[in-house]
Amino acid sequence: MVDVQTGVQFEEVRVRQKRSQLSFGEKLDAFVWRNLHIQPDNEIVKVLATTTPLNIELIQDDSCACIINLKRLNDVRSITKFLQSVNGKLPRNGYYITRVETKNQRVQNMMKRFPWPIGWLVCFADFMFHRVMPKIPFTRKAYYWATKGQNRVLTFSETLGRLVSCGFGIADHKEIDGYTWIAARKEQAPRYDDTPTYGMLVKLRRVGMDGKLINVYKLRTMHPYSEYLQEYLFNQNGTSNGDKINGDFRVTSWGKIFRRLWIDEIPMIYNLIKGDLKLVGVRPLSNHKFGTYPEWLQKKRIDTKPGLVPPFYVDCPKTPEEFFESESNYIDAYKRNPIRTDTIYFFKAMHNILWNRVRSA
């Protein structure tokens, strides 16, 4: 049996011959075996307890069907580089199983270890040290020197987003004994994106006029790396009105306030001045979301510039069909009389926002 807590390294297991050796405890066993998709020509599972990419590089390419890492992802210093290395060692559709202590689980676990008043003090100290210090320029270096990049705070959203950005699809996840175990399936090569949304000001690639990609600037309202989860969440949860994803856990608590007050969209004024956007128009969409729209509407959308104030606030659609019709009607009216249409839509939208308290959800 592999000891998850002490992290004893287990070289490898040929599953069909030595299944009894691949045991982690009753709860975790059920999760692991549910996500082991072994092929007849490759049934090797490698079980590791490591936080460095160097140990991953020792694995021969395509030599195993699954890699299981017993160490917490929180303790990996260069998470992106580490996951990229894991991706390179697995065949397509190979599996990587790992665990993380999410931000919420971190608080719960600390509160269990200490009595109530001390627990809250420990949580506050942990917040100041692990979440505030890394974000302040003059304390950041001292923080990473002291921690060596270990025991970092990770949200569930950031963890999934990092895996997807490194070429994995999310196959399954389950909370077991205070940790979240994740089974990720290799779907493609890592994206090697140098601009994930980690700072407060984010640059998002959006489909503009004539189908050209433009950089739209906003204040970050989601957890880091959340932009990589759009397709995953759309496929999992869908959308009720054609606009917002149902059950979207990517938005932070302060991000919800920013969105409600439109604070997050202030940097888009730069795009307005630059000429990428106009004041009224359809929303600028990501490539994935643009691809979910009907083809006839995609063609109509790229005939005009996206805008800051969308027709949603005028028509308040409740279903995807109503949403698509709302955008289509606006574009048709705009083509007939641009100035008149944008003027009418702007004042109707302001009336609904200010007096009827319409929000985009």
Full set of structural domains in the chain with CATH: 10-102+154-186 (3.30.110.40), 104-147 (no CATH), 201-354 (no CATH)
Are the C-beta atoms of 279 and 272 separated by less than 8 Å?
A: yes
pLDDT for residue 333 is more than 80: yes
Q: Closest Cα partner for 228 from 261, 260, 184?
A: 184
Residue 192: predicted pLDDT: 74
pLDDT for residue 1 is more than 60: no
The total of other beta-carbon atoms located within 10 Å of residue 305's CB is: 21
| 213-219/201-207 β-pairing | antiparallel
The predicted-structure confidence for 165-223, as pLDDT tens digits, reads as follows: 999 999 999 999 999 999 999 999 998 765 666 678 888 899 999 999 999 999 988 89
Residue 181: predicted pLDDT: 96
Average pLDDT over residues 74-78: 91
| 44-48/10-14 β-pairing | antiparallel
pLDDT for residue 297 is more than 90: yes
Give CA–CA dist 36/80, Å, rounded: 24
- In this structure, of 98-112, 235-249, 302-316, the range with the lowest mean pLDDT score is 235-249
Question: What residues form DSSP beta bridges with 68?
Answer: 47, 97
Question: What residues form DSSP beta bridges with 261?
Answer: none
Residue 6, exposed/middle/buried by CB under 10 A (0-12, 13-18, 19+)?
exposed
Q: In the numeric block, which tokens belong to residue 24?
A: 């982690």
Are the C-beta atoms of 250 and 157 separated by less than 8 Å?
A: yes
The predicted-structure confidence for 218-252, as pLDDT tens digits, reads as follows: 998 889 898 889 889 888 887 776 677 788 889 88
The predicted-structure confidence for 57-68, as pLDDT tens digits, reads as follows: 988 888 888 999
Residues 6+ apart with CB under 8 A from 243: 283, 312, 317, 323, 360, 361
Q: What are the two backbone dihedrals, phi and then psi, of residue 173, each rounded to the nearest 5 degrees?
A: -155, 150
Give pTM, 2 decimals: 0.81
